Amino acid sequence: MNSLSVWAWMFLFGHLVWATGFMFLISWRGYWQELIETLAWAHERTPLANLITQMLMILFVYI
């Protein structure tokens, strides 16, 4: 990788953020509700969240 590839990735990521934000802004339900629902959806489907949930269930069984 050269020094320009960092700027290229930043450029692509910036456009992804802009396009995602623009998509939320033009939606019918509004930006903040969509953002919160997207974060909640992603949080429910991460492996880390499943691991924590399983650990809590095991903890409750032993208590």
Residue pair 42/36 in contact by the 8 Å Cβ criterion: no
pLDDT tens string, the chain, 63 residues long: the values are 677 788 888 999 999 988 887 776 766 667 677 777 887 887 777 777 667 766 666 766 665
How high is the pLDDT of residue 27?
Answer: 65
Residue pair 27/34 in contact by the 8 Å Cβ criterion: yes
> How many helices and strands in the chain, by DSSP H and E?
3, 0
Domain extent for 31: 4-61
CB within 8 Å of 41: residues ≥ 6 apart: none
How high is the pLDDT of residue 2?
Answer: 74
How high is the pLDDT of residue 21?
Answer: 79
Residue pair 38/44 in contact by the 8 Å Cβ criterion: no
How high is the pLDDT of residue 63?
Answer: 57
Domain count, the chain: 1
How high is the pLDDT of residue 14?
Answer: 92
